[in-house]
Structure formats: C-alpha cells, structure tokens
Chain A
Amino acid sequence: MTATADAPAAGVLGQRAPRTLWGDVYRRFIRHKLAVTGLVIQVLLILGILVGPIIYPEDAEYIDILRADARPSLEFPMGTDDLGRDTLARNMEGGRISLAVGVVAMAVAIILGTLVGLLSGYFRSLDNPLMRFTDMMLALPSLPLLMVIIMLFRDKMRNLLGPELGIFVLVVYVIGALGWMPTARIVRGTVLSIKEKEFIEAAVSIGVRQHMILWRHVLPNILSPIIVSATLGVASAILIESALSFLGLGFPPDVPTWGRLLFENKDFITYNPALIIFPGLFISLTILSINFMGDGLRDALDPRLRL
C-alpha cells in the first residue's frame, strides 16, 4: 500500500515509470469531473482572497458616507454598503477570515478525532470508555451549545487575547471540540481492521514499540479516511462559523466574515441586494466546491476502485 512497497518491482523490470499510491490517487481524482470543477473553483476563490487585495487595494474598513449604497459599477465592482464601505474589499477580507476559521477548526477537530479514534481502535481497554464518551458528545445539541459557549465566554477571551484573536481562538476551538466525533468513529473503524493485518503482527513480533507501530504502521494506512473527513470538515466549519456570525454571535462587528456580512446587511435586502448576494454566493461556492472535492477524494482514495 505504501510507496516503498511499489518502488523495487519497477526498478527490476525497468520499463514503465513506477505507479505510486499518490500517483494513482491523482489519476483517479483528475478523472472525477465534479471534483476537478470543485478544485478549480476553490483555487480561484483562494487566489481571489489572497491575491485580490494586491490587485484591488481598497481598504475594507474605510467609511465614506458620501458614496454609501452605491450599486455595482466599474469603480466599485460589488457596490458599497450603508456606510460606504467597499463590498468587494469586505468580501475578500471576510473570505480570509472565514477560510482561516474553517482550516484551523478542521485541524483541531481532525487532531482530536484522530487521536481518540486511534486510541480507542488500538487499545481495547480504552475502546469502551472513549466510544461512550464519543456517543455522549454526538448527542449534544451542537448549534445551541456553540451559541451558548461563545456568548458566555466571549468577553473573557476578548480580555485575554484581544478582540480579534480572542474570538478567533474561541470560535475555532469550540467548533473543533464539538466536531471531532465523526472523524473519531471513522478512524476507529479503520484502525480496528488495520490492527488485525499481518504486517502489524509482524511488527509486534519483531518487537517494535507500540507508539512506533501506531505512528509508522497504523497512521499511514488510515490517512485516506482522515483526508476525506478533513476536506469535508473545512466545509462544515465554515458553515458553522457563518451560521454563528449570521446569528450575530460570531466575530465582533468590525471583523467582516462572510456570515457576518450577511447578518449586517440582511436589513438592507430590499434596496441593495448585492450586499447579500455576494457573500452568500461565496459561502455557497466554497461549501459546494469543497463537497465536490471531498466526493472526488473519497472515490480516488478508495483502494477498492483501483484502476
């Protein structure tokens, strides 16, 4: 399964370039039309967010009442809001924050989930308590609880780390802490089947220490479900953050995330729909393209579908 297993055979025959695991994955991914579409959209969005401000250096926070509520035009491609702030600049700024929240919250959830899944799959004595704990966490009402926790601990975190970083850390950790359970279940299931394989038995029999078995032999073999759930995890974290911001419970008013932009502007929907349509479109495109990529990755990484 790993790259090292494939390498020597090709060298002896010396005809074709060796096919590696990741080469196969790439080939299958490229054939998945929706996944490639998703990847292209995602790359464009990320480019727009990161490179956009260099091409379009407008200050997202600059207030000018005189140019308030401008319609999309050449000067302001997406118009301006009720305070005359540039919508395109605010969307780019918001996208950076939304994506950062998505990626970091996903990382928190994946690390926690992988750890719990590995431990409970590999060590029989830990399995029952950890899985009961996971079940309990799954039964928690996550959206209400997220809202409550963020509302209650917001001021404390703001005092501790400052208004922006404090909320960022809080949002990211709470989303991660309430989102690791599906990953843990998938990882546990995979570990349970990997653990019975002969190469683990071989490693045990030659006296490899347990943490090395986990790190060198088990972990590389459960990477595919982790990658898939990491991809989908970014989407769900962005969705949750947007939902929180949309309810007015996310970042402070001067930090424009996509959800926050929807929340701020939903009362101006009647006379300036552009304020709503663009951030909503960006959230939807992001989630859609990530879901496409996730589907494609799932198929590409599934060894049963090997070409």
Chain B
Amino acid sequence: MSRYLARRLLTAVPTLLAISMVIFAVLDLAPGDPTGALPETIRPEVRQMIREAMGLDKPMHIKYLLWLRQFFWNEPIGLLEGALGIEIGDSESRLRITSWGSRGTPVFDLIAQRVPQTLWVVGLAYLISVLIAVPVGVISAVRQYSVFDQLGTLFSLIGYSVPTFFTGLLLIIVFSVNLNWLPSIYDTNLEVRDWRSLVAQLRQMAMPVAVLAFFQTAALVRFTRSSMLDNLTQDYVRTVKAKGFRERYVVIRHILRNSLIPVITLVALGVPTIFSGAIITEQIFRVNGLGALLISSIQVNDIPMIQTVTFIFAVLIVIFNLIADIIYGVLDPRIRYA
C-alpha cells in the first residue's frame, strides 16, 4: 500500500507544477496592460515605474518562479503565523500575493472570507445528493425496468440535461415570484444566532442547494445504477443466491459492497466539479462565494486573484483525484498491484 501511495503522490506533484505553469502562462501571455485601469493622468515614466514595482518587466520564467515561491512558501508560512499567533523569521518583508483589485489586500484573506459560503452550499448539496442518489440507484438496479426504475431514469436524464442556470431561474420563478416562499437573493451578512436566523439561513440556502443537488444526484443515480447492474449478473451473486441467502442480504452484503467501489471513487472525483458548478449557482442566487470572487476579479482584470483562485480549483482537482485513487486502492486490493 505504501508503495502505491508513494507512486500516486509522486505523479501528483508534476501534474500540479504543469497545471500551475499553464495557468500562469495563459494569464501572462494575455494581452492587456495591468496598469491600463489606472487614471490616464499618470505620466508614462511613472507608469513605467509602477510596472517595474509590480515586477512586470522581468522575463516570464522569473515571474513564474517568484509566484511559485509566494504560493508554496510565503503563503503557507503566513497561514501558520496566523493560526499559531507566532512570528516566523522576517515576516514584515515577506511578500504575500496581493490583489490588484482591492488595494493590496492579500489574496488569501479575500479568499478566506468567501470560502465558508461556498463550502456551506456546495457541501450540503453534495451530501444530500449522495444520500439520495445511492439508495435510488440501488433500488433502480435491483428492480430493473420497474415503474420506479423508469421514473428514476427519466428523472436523472432530465436532471442531467437541464442546465443548472435554468433550474435555478425556474425555482426562483416558482418559489420566489409566484409563491413568495423563499428569498431569491442570498444574504451573506446573516449570522446564525437564534432559531429565527437559523430558519432564515435554511430558507435562503434551500434553492441553491436544491439546484446543485438535483444536477449531482442525476449523475450519481445513473452511475450507481449501472455499477449495480454490472455486478448483478456476476457469478458470485449467483453462488450466494444458490446458497439460499435472502435477497436483501445478497444485495446489501455482496452486490452493494462491490458496486459502491466505483461510486465512492466518482463521489471523490466529483467534489471539484461541483465547486466549479457552484460558480454558476452562486451567480444565480448572488451567493458571494469563491465563484463570485472569480467572476468579479475576471471583470476587473485582477490577475493575482484570478491566478490564485483558478489554481486553487486545480489543486482541488488534483487532491481529490489523489483521494479517489487512494480510496480505490484501499477498497479494491487488485488496483494496488496493477
């Protein structure tokens, strides 16, 4: 197992480096002057000095290495200092990645403000979708071609095909405009202190969570069902049935356990996707989470912020790929030795 783990970890590092290089290069090669948004009255030589102060005149590989140092060395140390309340080395002169849009606020401080909202909505949606999708998929497969299965399949095909931005708007039309039950705009300033604010929080989370969960459930149901169907016809199932075990026991103890292996992997792989799916959902319900941060920084050409947020999405993908690989290796010993 440890060799398998080491091999996986070793492939993750170059992948991350390559991705960071691609993201950096895309942003660096982009046309457009970062000082373009500054007032026209700034004299050209002053503008040049600003550019030099930002390090824009250096060649790309130097800029990339400097950014790497900031991201993988300066920022973690800064986080550590913040968490432990201590000072490591010369923390005054240690450069942090600062946003161009928000007057030199460190990028990670801005991100830290946004993460809770995204995490609440995304996390809850994902949890709900897994809790719904697995039982529905299992029942659909065991009772293949039954009414339940056909309804479930149709439902998941619709959920899979209707884009989240349309389901979101539809929900707003029904529940906010016509029925006036739920607020259509997410209020981030709401603090959960007592029962009433908790209800308000749940009410405003209901629609974004429902939209994300619907889409995710649809994909997972299809996958769970086909994974179960693959196992249902296997010889070992026939053997267990021939031994005279009850069907419930066969399904839960044998078929489900084997079918869930790829499903769990898919659940792990899907976490980063749902984060980027949340970009759209956040835009519909005006949740000011990570996705909203990315969109607003794209609009004001805040390169360090775009770079960092995009790279964080990439890091999520690589980490959850790794987690999926590890889970797969733990659950299915054949994978480790392949």
Contacts and interface: CB of A to CB of B under 8 A. Distances in A.
A250 B314 CA distance: 23
Given A139-B318, A152-B27, A152-B32, A242 B173 contact: no
Interface in A104-153: 135-136, 139-145, 147-149, 151-153
Interface string B163-174: 101100110110
A207 to B, nearest CB: 37
A273 B31 CA distance: 39
Given A145-B310, A152-B31, A152-B32, A287 B161 contact: yes
Interface in A130-181: 135-136, 139-145, 147-149, 151-153, 155-156
A139 B294 contact: no
A250 to B, nearest CB: 12
A147 B301 CA distance: 12
A262 B167 CA distance: 12
A148 B318 contact: no
Nearest to A295: B157
B161 A144 contact: no
B23 interface: yes
A292 B338 CA distance: 35
Q: Which of B283, B284, B301 has the most chain A CB within a 10 Å cutoff?
A: B283
Given A136-B18, A155-B32, A247-B283, A276 B169 contact: yes
B177 A269 contact: yes
Interface in B138-169: 157-158, 160-163, 165-166, 169
Q: Which of B161, B170, B314 has the most chain A CB within a 10 Å cutoff?
A: B161
B321 A139 contact: yes
Contact of A143 (B22, B170, B279): B279
A242 B163 contact: yes
Contacts of A262: 165-166, 169
Contacts of B84: none
B298 A147 contact: yes
A284 B166 contact: yes
Contact of A145 (B23, B30, B32, B301): B23
A156 B33 CA distance: 12
Interface in B1-43: 15, 18-19, 22-23, 26-27, 30-32
Main secondary structure of the interface of B (DSSP, over half): helix
Interface string A28-70: 0000001000000000000000000000000000000000000
Interface string B308-322: 011001101110010
B295 interface: yes
Contacts of A213: none
Nearest to A249: B298
Interface in A242-291: 242-243, 246-247, 249, 259, 262, 266, 269-270, 273, 276-277, 280-281, 283-284, 287-288, 291
Contacts of A291: 157, 160-161
Nearest to B309: A144
B304 interface: no
A239 interface: yes
Interface in B261-313: 272, 276-277, 279-280, 283-284, 294-295, 298-299, 301, 306, 309-310, 313
Nearest to A292: B157
Contacts of B314: 139-141
Nearest to A263: B165
B58 to A, nearest CB: 20
A247 B313 CA distance: 18
B129 to A, nearest CB: 19
Nearest to A244: B280
Contacts of A266: 169, 284
Nearest to B32: A152
B128 to A, nearest CB: 22
A148 B173 contact: no
B177 A273 contact: yes
Contact of A269 (B32, B169, B277): B169
B162 A246 contact: no
B132 to A, nearest CB: 21
Contacts of A143: 276-277, 279
A287 B215 CA distance: 14
Contacts of B272: 141
Given A148-B26, A269-B173, A242 B165 contact: yes
Contacts of B27: 148, 152
A136 B15 contact: yes
A127 to B, nearest CB: 16
A151 B173 CA distance: 30
Contacts of B19: 136, 139-140
Interface of A: 34, 135-136, 139-145, 147-149, 151-153, 155-156, 235, 239, 242-243, 246-247, 249, 259, 262, 266, 269-270, 273, 276-277, 280-281, 283-284, 287-288, 291-292
Interface of B: 15, 18-19, 22-23, 26-27, 30-32, 157-158, 160-163, 165-166, 169-170, 172-173, 177, 272, 276-277, 279-280, 283-284, 294-295, 298-299, 301, 306, 309-310, 313-314, 316-318, 321
Closest 10 CB pairs of A and B: A141-B313, A152-B30, A280-B166, A288-B161, A287-B161, A284-B162, A143-B276, A246-B165, A144-B310, A156-B31
